[in-house]
Structure 1
Amino acid sequence: MRCAHTVEQVRAAEAALMSRLPEGVLMQRAAAGLAAAVVDLLGGGYGRRVLLLVGSGDNGGDALYAGAILARRGAQVEAWLLSDRAHPGGVAALLAAGGRTTSGDPRRPDVVVDGIVGIGGRGGLRPEAQRALGSVAGVPVVAVDTPSGVEVDSGEVTGPHVRADVTVTFGTYKVAHLVDPAASASGVVHLVDIGLDLPEAPVEALQPDDVAALLPRPTPDAHKYLRGVVGVRAGSPQYPGAALLSVAGADTGLCGMVRYVGDPSVAATVRQVHPEVVGEGRVQAWVVGSGGGEDAGDELAAALADDVPLVVDADALAHVDRPPAHAVLTPHAGELAAMLGADRADIESRPLHHVRAAAERYGCTVLLKGRHTLVATPDGRVRVTTTGTPWLATAGAGDVLGGLVGALLAAGLAPYDAASVGSWLHGAAATLASGGGPLVAGTVAAAVPDVVRGLSTP
């Protein structure tokens, strides 16, 4: 699991560890990891020009001590001190190693190390920091812990900030590394283990081993009903493709059977494309809403009457009032804006805040689609999906996702697990199907079995 902790949690863990270590050891561990990452990015250290942008916090100290290590390896290191309270021990170490300091107009570097603001800083950057960054525009940036100027605990961006190519973080991931829009400013995130003992994280991201452990697998005595039956109430004569794609997501082999209930003409098309799909009957989960049009409210009411877990998507979301706790709501930003009476731009700028608010308001799991999809529970836990490709931004992809999540609900996963595992598989399948190029939604569903085959058996 990739765990993201809050600033308060990290500081408490650091304080506990520092009480058991000689003074300065923790910063030296961080500096060594940072210096190694810079060398890796540059392909070596000797003769390279490194510019440190240094503020007053411990991140500036990490940068200075890393700069001293790089200087001893033959790099030409210059520190632009943006505060008269820069870490004195770090400054002394850099100068002793042959580095130098400046207050402006540095030589053009090969890499910039962002040690401007620590993890406790507020969003945005002061004018002097903005000027310093502007003077080295186009140079690769390595951020210390988090890109300066982002909101660390929320993932929000409220003003000018660093956009890093690489972020080197210490002890644990922070929320800003996983949650957009700050995550998009973090670049490639490299974690350096400094020995912190941390509590349970409020935000996490599944990794392949986690998905393999959660994925329902048939037992030797399994039969189709034991593996779960998912029903799909999606599509309409106006939008028959939504039915086909929702069924395609459900019909990937993750559960034992798929039932389709809908307009007879659409049902005939579904059975022609998916001959293994059957009609109305008992189910363990429902998928409702995609392309449902004006009948989506009636389809949702029919599904709710069965009192089984269900996925509510697209047109059905407008009819949600008090869903059961075993529901999974799957809006995109525009749909969530309508549900919460908020502005779409605000949803996109504060997705973590709003997905938690929606989960609390509706009392069930909410999956907010996006570059990094968020899955939240009413108690505030959040999982972030980091699989996927920009090519996944294509019509019908959400219909496939709803079917996938519904199949996993039918197979027995709890709503939070079904939503986060389904989203992870959806992104991984898109990456596989894309191969670096364009794709359409149907190919995402077709790639799911290959993704599952590639997961190690727990």
Structure 2
Amino acid sequence: MRRAHTVEQVREAEAALLARLPEGALMQRAAHGLAYAVLELLGSAYGRRVLLLVGAGDNGGDALHAGAVLARRGVAVEAWLLSDAAHEGGLAALRAAGGRVERRRPRPGAASDATASTSTSTTGAFDVVVDGITGIGGRPGLREEATAALAELDGVPVVAVDLPSGVGVDTGELDGPHVRADLTVTFGTLKAAHLVDPAASACGAVQLVDLGLDLPPADIEALQPADVAALLPRPAEDAQKYTRGVVGVRAGSDEYPGAGLLSVSGAASGLAGMVRYVGDAGVAGRVRDAHPEVVGDGRVQAWVVGSGSGQHAAAELAAVLRDGVPVVVDADALAHLDGPLDVPAVLTPHAGELAAMLGRDRADIEARPLVHAREAAEAYGCVVLLKGRHTLVAEPRGQGGRTRVTTTGNPWLATAGAGDVLGGLIGALLAAGLEPFDAASVGSWLHGAAATTAGAGGPLVAGQIAGAVPAVVRGLPPLG
């Protein structure tokens, strides 16, 4: 499991560790981890040029000490100081290793800095820029001197120290200019900004350097293959179709038959023992033709409702709620919710649907998805899965208050009908016995991984996703 901790949690853990370590040891761990990541990106040291953008905080110190390590390896390192102050120990280390320093922001009342050297470099001369402008204590947005420096360096690969400067650390939000990194090297633990969009989209690849922090449980998690393998329901030795779970699907209509077919394909991907379909006769016939193993109405352990239901959505939602079993509510049925449900549920809106549910603008949902997914979980008293590049699964505080972020998938997954398949997958996992939070997050992970497998690096259509689920499950790490 990858976990994201808050700034407060990280600072408390760092303070506890610092009390047991020699002075400067923690920064040296971080700096060496950063330097080795930059070297790996460069591929070689000699003849390479690295520029450090340095702010006043400890991230600037990490960058300067890493620059010293790089300089001792033969890299030509230059630092631009973007603040009136900089980490003195880091400056001394960089200069001692042969690095160059230029102050980009003169001190008030001073025409120049006597210790600064004049840079003769040009943007094209740098192989990598290291962003040490602000750290986890910084607020969203950047100051003018930072944005000016970044503008000069447009096109040069960027390695961010801990996180891209200017992003919202604990919220994953953006508000003003920010760094867009190719690689982010973070320390001790992930933060929300590494997982939650829109800030996560600015991080590039994320590499974690272990500092040995003793951290508490985290509210934000991202499943990894081993976690999915451990959570996935597996048939017992004496299993039969009913004990493996029966999932019912009420989706599609004569107007939108494809939604019914795709919802059934997700439900019938092998994760549950039986699938029942209830819907318009024309759609039911097409479902039987495509999935002869699917049967009609009867008792189920979970329902999937809403995709393509059109004018029947309210009636279909009412019907499944009367059964008193867990339910996945998607698409058209979401518009007919008016408060907390009396059954365990997973709601699966996209940003536009969530905007309508909460009375917000879609742009606000997309700018602050973490806030709004959690708000919806509280308002409806159930698990809310907010679809996106990094899908969020949030549970109400009364159920634990956790949030999971899905990091599988790729841009080809943004295709019509993919969400219908997802609803079916989650419904099958509910019927097989998973709790709503686990069913939603495991289903979302499998959905993204199956899309990547099905597309093999290229385009795909929604119908291919369910067919790739068995291969993804077979590829999970063995238990134990």
With normalisation by structure 1, the TM-score equals 0.99
Q: How does 1:264-279 map to 2 (within 5 A)?
A: 264-279=281-296
Matching residue within 321, 327, 349 for 2:345: 327
Correspondence for 1:383:
404
- Conservation of the 8 A alpha-carbon contact between 2:321 and 2:343: no
Question: How many residues were matched structurally?
Answer: 458
Between the aligned partners of 1:316 and 1:309, the Cα distance in structure 2 is: 15
Gaps of 5+ in 1: none
Q: How does 1:22-37 map to 2 (within 5 A)?
A: 22-37=22-37
Between the aligned partners of 1:325 and 1:129, the Cα distance in structure 2 is: 52
Superposition RMSD on alpha carbons, in Å? 0.8
The answer to whether residue 172 in structure 2 is matched with residue 155 in structure 1 is yes
The answer to whether residue 386 in structure 2 is matched with residue 368 in structure 1 is yes
Gaps of 5+ in 2: 105-118
Correspondence for 1:430:
451
Cα-to-partner distance string for 1:349-400 (whole Å, 9 max, x where unaligned): 1000000000011000000000000000001310000000100000000000
Correspondence for 1:191:
208
SS of equivalent to 2:148: helix
- Conservation of the 8 A alpha-carbon contact between 1:54 and 1:86: yes
Correspondence for 1:53:
53
The answer to whether residue 76 in structure 2 is matched with residue 76 in structure 1 is yes
Between the aligned partners of 1:113 and 1:41, the Cα distance in structure 2 is: 12
Between the aligned partners of 1:291 and 1:373, the Cα distance in structure 2 is: 21
Q: CA shift at 1:197, angstroms?
A: 0.6
The answer to whether residue 44 in structure 2 is matched with residue 44 in structure 1 is yes
- Conservation of the 8 A alpha-carbon contact between 2:59 and 2:135: yes
- Conservation of the 8 A alpha-carbon contact between 2:325 and 2:343: no
- Conservation of the 8 A alpha-carbon contact between 1:325 and 1:363: no
SS of equivalent to 1:74: coil
Correspondence for 2:371:
353
Between the aligned partners of 2:47 and 2:79, the Cα distance in structure 1 is: 16
Q: CA shift at 1:46, angstroms?
A: 1.7
Q: How does 1:214-229 map to 2 (within 5 A)?
A: 214-229=231-246
- Conservation of the 8 A alpha-carbon contact between 1:56 and 1:84: yes
Q: CA shift at 1:103, angstroms?
A: 2.5
Q: CA shift at 1:454, angstroms?
A: 0.7
Cα-to-partner distance string for 1:151-179 (whole Å, 9 max, x where unaligned): 00000000100000000000001100000
Query: Where does structure 1 differ by over 6 angstroms across 4 or more consecutive aligned residues?
Result: none
Between the aligned partners of 2:373 and 2:343, the Cα distance in structure 1 is: 16
Q: How does 1:70-219 map to 2 (within 5 A)?
A: 70-104=70-104, 107=121, 108=123, 109-219=126-236
Correspondence for 2:355:
337
Q: CA shift at 1:265, angstroms?
A: 1.4
Correspondence for 1:302:
319
SS of equivalent to 2:272: coil
Between the aligned partners of 2:221 and 2:57, the Cα distance in structure 1 is: 27
Between the aligned partners of 1:208 and 1:89, the Cα distance in structure 2 is: 42
Q: How does 1:385-400 map to 2 (within 5 A)?
A: 385-400=406-421
Correspondence for 1:19:
19
With normalisation by structure 2, the TM-score equals 0.95
Between the aligned partners of 1:132 and 1:205, the Cα distance in structure 2 is: 34
Q: CA shift at 1:106, angstroms?
A: 5.7
Code of the aligned partner of 2:452: T
Between the aligned partners of 2:342 and 2:412, the Cα distance in structure 1 is: 34
Between the aligned partners of 1:194 and 1:97, the Cα distance in structure 2 is: 24
The answer to whether residue 335 in structure 2 is matched with residue 318 in structure 1 is yes
Q: CA shift at 1:457, angstroms?
A: 2.6
Between the aligned partners of 2:346 and 2:286, the Cα distance in structure 1 is: 27
- Conservation of the 8 A alpha-carbon contact between 1:324 and 1:363: no
Q: CA shift at 1:325, angstroms?
A: 5.2
Percent identical residues: 76
Between the aligned partners of 1:55 and 1:222, the Cα distance in structure 2 is: 61
